[in-house]
Amino acid sequence: MATELFGKHGVRAVGMQQLVDETGIGKSLVYREFTGKDDLVVAWLHQMRAVWWDMSAEVVARYPDDPARQMLGIVEMVHEQVAAEGYFGCVYHTTSSEFRDPQHPGHQESVRHAREIREQLRGLASAAGVVDPHRLADELLLIIDGIYASASVLGPSGPSRIGVELASQLIQQHCSDALPAITTIGH
């Protein structure tokens, strides 16, 4: 329930009492599990990170021994997320913008997640034999972030719709002939 409430209204807008009221869980149980809202936010972000890693692992498994296609698959996965009903924005972008203090646990979790995705992309780019895997990873992360941000404001049919195509072009450019025939999702 916290996932729905935080995703729909933002973390700051949802109070612990609202969570108790809407879930029907007793206040004492909530506070036995979480010493405060910050602990709940961190637990929620950990849960969302687990979702990312499960989904991206499925993408990677779908294209064994093809790290270039795996990178594109991750971008396709992001586009599918933003096109899904009920998408309100990236939980990490929203949380880091709501909690700008670099010491806030929610902000720190958001930064940690972005760094992990960046490393994931770097690893795939290296495995694909890219000359500058750090650059490709950063370019793809910018596209991923752009898809998330654009879709939350203009919807999936706005500029985010071309993110997969841009990623495909970048991957082809960096991988030369390692990715001769990528198919992209329809526009």
Tens of pLDDT, residues 85-129: 888 888 888 888 888 888 988 889 999 999 999 999 999 999 999
Q: Tell me: the pLDDT tens digits for 139-170?
A: 999 999 999 999 989 988 999 999 999 999 99
Q: Greater confidence, 11 or 141?
A: 141
The stretch 49-76 carries a mean pLDDT of 96
**Which phi and psi (to 5°) does residue 11 adopt?**
-70, -45
Q: Which pLDDT does position 132 carry in this prediction? A: 94
Instruction: Answer yes or no: pTM beyond 0.85.
Output: no
Pairwise CA distance, residues 184 & 164, whole Å:
7
Mean pLDDT of the 34-63 span: 88
pLDDT of res. 178: 47
**More confident call, 48 vs 178:** 48
